[in-house]
């Protein structure tokens, strides 16, 4: 017994030596939030909602400006003299094939969110809460896909591309630790970054990642449960969602244990293939011509109105300003708060690519695929509601996709494939998050130990369980929006630091 106890102490000592202060600070914050959400969920929602309203009312313009500046900087890099600079040494080659690379960055960047909102958000913008037109009108229906493209297109991927590029450049070209704070050394100095300032920055990045992924895992569990209920009349309850979460946790821990090159890469590739099959099948059994026409029209509307939509803050339209805050500003804040996690993961799998190749791949390819995904799923849903065949707008958000499938041939098969796709996105998102959290809390190690990754996996699942138990997902999402304000300032500072550094080394 004493030998076993000594071994446990030695393992704990080794574990403690492998993590930084950021780990322990983040753990303390997580425990506080779990307790807050478990015992006082309404208080959590109310307090965070109050801060969210203040931020939306006073800093919406700042989020808009930051996102647009990042898109502009990404486009500038595509055509600049920095385009041929490698994210690594000049002799480095990419670690992953183009297909595997794209599958991994897409799975980490959108994943469950895309499956959750592709039909529900489109229906909402057309028939429930519309940006510029009466619900159900032709303008509202056409505008629904236009605004989903705004929310899920260039703005989000432009942000991800720049944050990921800066992290990859400093890690693989300069040799800095894989930390958000390390990219700011040229501006703030090594002493500050090694001290309290750097710890604060990295703890904020860890906090945003934990809360964001926990909320996503809660959404994923709810949608999987909804799909199984719709298909097999299984119970829709907290207990059943906990069973789903437990199974998914075991699977993504196995994936995390197998390593980046095997677990995430294989699962991401499989899932992109399944998602492609899903889109093709729905296109075949659905209103194909309508989907094509909506897709082409949406591209035209998106490009034609891109500047107007991007800058429109509706200062004199109180009703539509509420819509803007609830949707567009919410998304900008959400993408910013997710940027450390998604950016670091994309950076980690992008070693050896040039700046031009990287920006084009991260900015353009996912935007096109996302718009295609919304065009197929969104159009299929819009057609049903517009013809009066069913009222998808009356269903819960997580049920809309399955309610749509019910009215098309092969509906059961489509629902089954969707559940599998959501489940794999669930696993890859959590696996990616444990990897990034491991990097952030071990001083930027490229390959954090399995013990650290599994620890974070368990914590993420515990946080997700609290989300489901307390119904506190809105509170967690509010915290993401609150975290986005200081993170947006950090992101802008990262870009300045990057530009100074790349200029110096050219």
Per-residue pLDDT of the chain (506 residues; tens, 9 = 90+): 444 333 433 443 444 445 789 999 988 888 887 788 778 877 877 888 888 888 888 899 999 999 999 999 999 999 999 999 999 998 999 988 888 888 877 776 666 778 778 899 999 999 998 888 899 999 999 999 999 999 999 999 999 999 999 999 999 999 999 899 999 999 999 889 989 999 999 999 998 888 878 877 877 788 888 888 887 888 888 888 888 888 888 877 777 776 655 667 777 788 888 989 999 999 999 999 999 999 999 999 999 999 999 999 988 887 788 888 888 988 898 888 888 888 988 998 899 999 999 999 998 888 888 899 999 999 999 999 999 999 999 988 888 999 999 999 999 999 999 989 888 887 878 888 888 898 999 988 878 888 888 888 888 888 888 777 766 567 767 777 888 899 999 999 999 999 999 998 87
The structure's pTM equals 0.89
Of 490, 356, 327, whose CA–CA distance to 76 is shortest?
A: 356
In whole angstroms, what is the distance from residue 47 CA to residue 39 CA?
A: 14
Q: How many CB atoms lie within 10 A of CB 334?
A: 20
Helices H / strands E in the chain, number of each: 23, 0
In whole angstroms, what is the distance from residue 205 CA to residue 489 CA?
A: 13
Indicate the class that CATH gives domain 2-504: mainly alpha
DSSP conformational letter for 354: B
Buried b (16+ CB within 10 A) or exposed e, 309-332: beebebeeeeebbebbbebbbbbb
Of 127, 125, 131, whose CA–CA distance to 145 is shortest?
A: 125
Q: What angle do CA 12, 15, 16 make, to 5 degrees?
A: 85
Domain ranges of the chain: 2-504
Dihedral angle over CA of 460, 373, 67, 218, nearest 10: -20
**Angle of helix 330-348 relative to helix 411-440, nearest 10 degrees?**
70
Kindly list the distances between the CA atom of residue 201 and the CA atoms of 152, 173, 446, 495, in Å, as whole numbers in the listed order: 27, 22, 19, 15
Of 35, 108, 48, whose CA–CA distance to 339 is shortest?
A: 108
In whole angstroms, what is the distance from residue 31 CA to residue 371 CA?
A: 39
Give alpha helix (H) positions in 349-443: 355-363, 365-386, 400-405, 411-440
């Amino acid at each position: 017994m004493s030998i076993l106890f000594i071994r446990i102490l030695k393992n704990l000592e080794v574990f403690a030596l492998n993590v930084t202060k950021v780990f322990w600070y983040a753990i303390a914050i997580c425990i506080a939030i779990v307790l807050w959400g478990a015992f006082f969920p309404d208080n959590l929602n109310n307090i965070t909602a109050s801060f969210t309203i203040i931020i939306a009312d006073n800093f919406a313009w700042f989020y808009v400006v930051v996102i647009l500046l990042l898109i502009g900087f990404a486009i500038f890099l595509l055509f600049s003299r920095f385009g041929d600079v490698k994210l690594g040494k000049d002799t480095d080659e990419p670690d992953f094939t183009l297909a595997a690379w794209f599958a991994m960055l897409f799975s980490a960047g959108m994943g469950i969110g895309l499956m959750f909102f592709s039909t529900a958000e489109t229906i909402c913008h057309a028939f429930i809460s519309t940006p510029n037109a009466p619900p159900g009108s032709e303008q509202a229906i056409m505008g629904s896909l236009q605004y989903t493209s705004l929310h899920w297109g260039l703005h989000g991927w432009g942000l991800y591309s720049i944050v990921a590029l800066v992290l990859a450049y400093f890690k693989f070209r300069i040799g800095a630790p894989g930390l958000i704070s390390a990219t700011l050394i040229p501006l703030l100095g090594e002493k500050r970054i090694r001290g309290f300032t750097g710890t604060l920055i990295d703890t904020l990045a860890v906090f945003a990642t934990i809360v964001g992924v926990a909320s996503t895992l809660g959404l994923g569990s709810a949608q999987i449960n909804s799909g199984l209920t719709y298909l097999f009349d299984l119970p829709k309850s907290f207990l059943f969602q906990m069973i789903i979460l437990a199974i998914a946790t075991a699977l993504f821990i196995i994936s995390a244990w197998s390593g980046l090159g095997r677990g995430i890469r294989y699962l991401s590739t499989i899932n992109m293939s399944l998602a492609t099959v899903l889109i093709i099948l729905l296109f075949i059994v659905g209103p194909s011509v309508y989907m094509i026409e909506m897709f082409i029209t949406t591209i035209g509307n998106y490009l034609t109105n891109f500047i107007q939509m991007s800058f429109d803050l509706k200062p004199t339209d109180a009703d539509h300003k509420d819509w803007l805050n609830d949707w567009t500003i919410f998304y900008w804040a959400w993408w910013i708060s997710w940027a450390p996690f998604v950016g670091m993961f994309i950076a980690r799998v992008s070693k050896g690519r040039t700046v031009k190749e990287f920006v084009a791949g991260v900015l353009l390819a996912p935007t096109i695929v996302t718009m295609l995904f919304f065009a197929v799923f969104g159009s299929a849903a819009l057609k049903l509601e517009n013809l009066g065949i069913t009222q998808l707008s009356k269903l819960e958000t997580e049920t809309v996709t399955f309610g749509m499938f019910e009215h098309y041939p092969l509906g059961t098969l489509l629902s089954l494939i969707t559940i599998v796709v959501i489940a794999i996105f669930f696993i890859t998102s959590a696996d990616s998050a444990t990897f990034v959290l491991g990097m952030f809390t071990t001083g930027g190690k490229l390959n954090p130990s399995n013990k650290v990754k599994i620890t974070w996996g368990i914590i993420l699942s515990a946080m997700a369980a609290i989300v489901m138990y307390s119904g506190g997902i809105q509170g967690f999402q509010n915290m993401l929006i609150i975290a986005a304000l200081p993170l947006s300032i950090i992101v802008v500072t990262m870009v300045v630091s990057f530009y100074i550094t790349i200029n110096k080394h050219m």
